[in-house]
Structure 1
Amino acid sequence: MPRFEPFRALRYAAPDLEPLLAPPYDVLDAADVDALQARSPQNVTRVDVPRGGADRYGVAATTLDGWVADGVLVLDPEPSFTIYRLRFADGHGVARDVAGVLGALEVVDAGAGGVLPHERTTPKDSTDRLELTRATRANLSPVWGLSLAAGLADLLAAPGELVGRLVDDAYGRRVEHVWERVTDPERVRAIRDLLASDDVLIADGHHRYAVGRTFRDEVRAATGRTDTAAELTLAFVAELVADQLSVEPIHRLYSGVDPAALRAALERSFVLTEVAGDEGTVSAVNATSMVLLTADGAWRLDPRPGVLDGVRALDGVWLETTLDGLDPQVAYHAGVQPALDAVTQGRAVAAVLVRPPSLAEIERTAREGLLMPPKSTFFTPKLKTGAVLRPLDL
């Protein structure tokens, strides 16, 4: 089972975190970064999303070191865990109060167990994150893990020492982010021991975790040691329970394929029933069924009896099985309206709205050592970067 350890965190000294923090780097475009950096010369994107030429990683490292020297960032005097609470209304309007813990998660070899991948990943250049880690010697953005051990939510219910709070209205959703430091030895031990008792499933941040493995191996080769800070990586871990997670689907956008051929392939596995193509109707239908969108209309997809027997009951797997051999180009997007827009504006010849997998299916897949298709789940809301940074030179 994986180690999960407290560490001495770097935190912003300023009480107002709103101008300083940012969403994860991989959801930001250039305009987002411009807007964030306009808020403050100390916004975390100046380190986490380095800009410029070949020297940008060195500049990021110099900036980070300067913030520490100038007291913009302050190192905790002792190791701690940080409870991270997210309070929001999910896509169905249900109020949620999610609690996870920020700590240092063990970096294990691929296939070794303990820390399990959740889904197959799409190709992505990891060089940027690796170069940034090498230069800054810090974990800047956490991996999101799900603990399969029961009881973590209960351990995190009592408050810790409040060290930060902000309310974010980005993406049309109000989210309260709260960070609380935990240093009490007994509570730290209880959290550490519980998380070491069962597997942790990576929900988001597979590439960051893989970069952590590469960096760990480089440090081992350079030092001959297996006891450095590179043996672990920054992670937010929550319990895999229904009331602690908000899971939304990531829909499929298809191009590079004849829409008639796509529909014919789908009709071999599904009965297509036409529905109104407005967002409200499509969203309501998508709550219980997959939905095909094309320029000609919208159709509910219901599995034909017996055709998909023996195929794991995951929408992404059903689609991969049904479209095998057709080889369309696939893009991914959360949200019904963006999928409708992509089709009506001609950026996709068709879209299929999928449903999120159940938490039971997520756990079952992990326990059996299997992987879901790419982009099977969208865990919301996104974590803020910058509230807790983890130095790798201590």
Structure 2
Amino acid sequence: MPRFEPFPALRYAARDLAAVTAPPYDVLSVKEVAGLAARSPENVVHVDVPAVTHATAKDPYAAAGEVWRRWLTEGVLAVDDEPGFTIYRMRFTDEHGDERDLAAVVGALEVVDEGAGGVLAHERTTPKASTDRLDLTRATDANLSPVWGLSLARGLTELLREAGEPVGRVDVEGVAHVVERVTDPVRVAAIADLVSSDEVLIADGHHRYGVARMFRDEVRSLTGRADGTAELTLAYVGELVPEQLSIRAIHRLYAGADHARLREALARCFELSDAPMPSLAMLGDLVDKGVLALIGPDGAAEFMTPRPGAFDDVRALDGAWLEHALADLPVEVDYQHGVAEVLEAVVSGRAHSAVLISPVSIAEIERTARERLLMPPKSTFFTPKVRTGLVLRSLL
């Protein structure tokens, strides 16, 4: 099972944490990065997104590294006096109108070899040729954005119920991000022991975890040792239980071939029937009826009901069904979690078709993990996203 350890966290000394923190780098547009950078010269994007904030530099990553070291020297960032964990709570109202209070813990999670067990991927990842995160880790010797892990151990939610020492809060876009420090040795040991007692499933940040593995191997090669800080990586770990997770579906956009051919291929495996215009309310119908929804170029929708026997040998996942149904059709697949954005893509012609799917259940996520299987790419969208900058970790 993976080690999960406390560490002396790096934190912003600023009072206005909304001005210096940011969403994860991989959900930000260039325009959003520019807006965050303009808000404060100390916003984390000045280090975390060098391809944008240092685009004119000869080496954007070296420039980001210089900014990082200056922040450390000048006291923009301060290190905790002792190792500890950080409880990270997110309070918000979800898309169904339910109030949610999620609690997870930020610590240092062991970096294990692929296939070794202990830390598991839950879906196949789309290729990323860029060495962006590896170059940034080399330049800063730091973990900036945490991997989002789900502990398969029971009881973590209860261990995090009691408040820790308040160290920061950011209220943005209807979500309260609240962080609390835990340094009491007894409580620290209890959290570490529980998370380390069972496997951790990567919910978000598969690429970041893979980069942590590459960086660890580089350090081992350079030092000849396997006991340094690179043996672990920054992780936000919550319990895999329904009340602690808000999961949205990631819908499919299709280009290549054409709508008529795609519809014909789908009709071999699904019965198609009239559906109302796509909306947020329709997503509830998909779950209740056990169907998917095909959207054509005019924005009209059809329900897709699996034909008896069509998927007998296929895992009961909407994404897996679509892969099976379209296996012989040369289509290009893109992904989008917002219904309005899906409609815009189809009506504008950026995609000729789309399919709305249901979120994956907690039970299916755990079953897939226990059986050492992988879901199709982009099967789950965990929300809200963890804010970058509330907890940082030095690798020096």
Q: TM-score, normalised by structure 2?
A: 0.96
Q: Which moved more, 1:296-305 or 1:211-220?
A: 296-305
- Measured in 2, the distance between the counterparts of 1:326 and 1:141 equals 37
- Measured in 2, the distance between the counterparts of 1:361 and 1:166 equals 33
What amino acid maps onto 2:228 in structure 1? T
Other structure's SS at 1:11 match: strand
The change in CA–CA distance for 1:213 and 1:280 in structure 2 (over 3 A counts) is closer
Could you tell me which residue of structure 1 aligns to residue 106 of structure 2? 102
Instruction: Specify which of 326, 335, 340 is matched with residue 323 of structure 1.
Output: 326
Q: Does 1:185 align with 2:188?
A: no
Map residues 34-45 of structure 1 onto 2, 5 A cutoff: 34-45=34-45
Could you tell me which residue of structure 2 aligns to residue 364 of structure 1? 367
- Measured in 2, the distance between the counterparts of 1:348 and 1:341 equals 9
Q: CA deviation at 1:195?
A: 0.5
Residues 319-350 of structure 1: per-residue CA shift (max 9 Å, x gap) = 00111110200000011111111111111110
Map residues 20-39 of structure 1 onto 2, 5 A cutoff: 20-39=20-39
- Measured in 2, the distance between the counterparts of 1:303 and 1:188 equals 49
What amino acid maps onto 2:363 in structure 1? A
Q: State the identity as a percent.
A: 61
- Measured in 1, the distance between the counterparts of 2:58 and 2:186 equals 47
Residues 348-382 of structure 1: per-residue CA shift (max 9 Å, x gap) = 11000011111000000011010000000000000
Other structure's SS at 2:17 match: coil
- Measured in 1, the distance between the counterparts of 2:321 and 2:209 equals 28
What amino acid maps onto 2:257 in structure 1? V
Instruction: Specify which of 303, 306, 316 is matched with residue 300 of structure 1.
Output: 303
Contact 1:10 1:391 in 2 (8 A): yes
Contact 2:22 2:388 in 1 (8 A): yes
Other structure's SS at 2:209 match: helix
Could you tell me which residue of structure 2 aligns to residue 18 of structure 1? 18
- Measured in 1, the distance between the counterparts of 2:323 and 2:283 equals 22
The change in CA–CA distance for 1:368 and 1:227 in structure 2 (over 3 A counts) is same
Instruction: Specify which of 289, 292, 300 is matched with residue 290 of structure 1.
Output: 292
Q: Does 1:383 align with 2:386?
A: yes
The change in CA–CA distance for 1:307 and 1:26 in structure 2 (over 3 A counts) is same
What amino acid maps onto 2:134 in structure 1? L
- Measured in 2, the distance between the counterparts of 1:281 and 1:379 equals 19
- Measured in 2, the distance between the counterparts of 1:316 and 1:359 equals 16
Contact 1:145 1:201 in 2 (8 A): yes
**5+ residue gaps, structure 1:** none
Could you tell me which residue of structure 2 aligns to residue 274 of structure 1? 274
- Measured in 2, the distance between the counterparts of 1:221 and 1:309 equals 48
Map residues 202-241 of structure 1 onto 2, 5 A cutoff: 202-241=202-241
- Measured in 2, the distance between the counterparts of 1:153 and 1:128 equals 34
Contact 1:25 1:48 in 2 (8 A): yes
The change in CA–CA distance for 1:281 and 1:41 in structure 2 (over 3 A counts) is closer
Contact 1:147 1:238 in 2 (8 A): yes
Contact 2:278 2:339 in 1 (8 A): no
Contact 2:272 2:302 in 1 (8 A): yes
Q: CA deviation at 1:295?
A: 1.9
Could you tell me which residue of structure 1 aligns to residue 343 of structure 2? 340
Q: TM-score, normalised by structure 1?
A: 0.97
What amino acid maps onto 2:97 in structure 1? G
CA RMSD of the aligned region, Å?
1.0
Count of residues in correspondence between the two structures: 389
- Measured in 2, the distance between the counterparts of 1:106 and 1:252 equals 33
Could you tell me which residue of structure 1 aligns to residue 200 of structure 2? 200
Residues 46-97 of structure 1: per-residue CA shift (max 9 Å, x gap) = 0101122442111111111111111110011110100000001112111110
- Measured in 2, the distance between the counterparts of 1:201 and 1:108 equals 12
Could you tell me which residue of structure 2 aligns to residue 72 of structure 1? 76
Q: CA deviation at 1:284?
A: 4.4
Q: Which moved more, 1:364-373 or 1:257-266?
A: 257-266
